[in-house]
Amino acid sequence: MTQWDHPTFDLDGSGTFVPLEWDPAPVPTSRPSPRWRIISVGAAAVLLLASGAMGWLAYHNDRTAQQWRHLEQAKAAQVAVLSSEIQQANTTTQQVNVQLTQLHSEITSLKSQLSSSTAQNSTLQQQLSNAGTVAGNLQQCIDATKKLNSDANSFTSLFDFGSIDKESKNANQTCQAAESANQGLQSNLQNG
């Protein structure tokens, strides 16, 4: 039905007809414009990409942190083992140094006994030979301990562990004292 099909009424008699029924006003559509739809979809896509990137970054950072924790635990275990070995080497070196000092005094005593008694000469010579062998073995022990300390020092130089460094220095001092005592022993054996 069009506007011409409606009944009309002549208001002022001039021949102008006004329709008695008006067409209903057009209902505006509430559809958003295509621009808003594109902006909304774009914003949702950007948010989805950003949250995906943040999730991946969080996962990557967590994996990296776990790798660092495992590496740190492995290095801490190595340092603990080296620290224990250094302490054992220090104890052994100190014991060797005490034994070396005792051997040195025994050799001195044996040398005086050797010069005073010719009847026991062969027995004393054997004891001196044995003492020289023991002293040589002790020197090998000291050399091995020095190598262990050197290896431990080269490893601990990668880290800042003051107590390990202190123990290593103590072991080095003990080894030097043992080496000096052994050199004195060897000299006494040669001069005896």
The model carries a pTM of 0.38
Residue 121 confidence (pLDDT): 63
Residue 96 has pLDDT above 70, yes or no: yes
* Arithmetic mean of pLDDT, 164-184: 71
* Arithmetic mean of pLDDT, 122-148: 69
Residue 25 has pLDDT above 60, yes or no: yes
Residue 1 confidence (pLDDT): 45
74-83, 86-95, 160-169, 174-183: range with lowest mean pLDDT = 160-169
Q: In the chain, pLDDT over 90 holds for what percent of residues?
A: 19
* Arithmetic mean of pLDDT, 5-19: 55
* Arithmetic mean of pLDDT, 149-162: 66
CB 94 within 8 A of CB 145: no
Write down the mean pLDDT value for the chain.
Answer: 75
Neighbours of 61 (CB within 10 A): 10
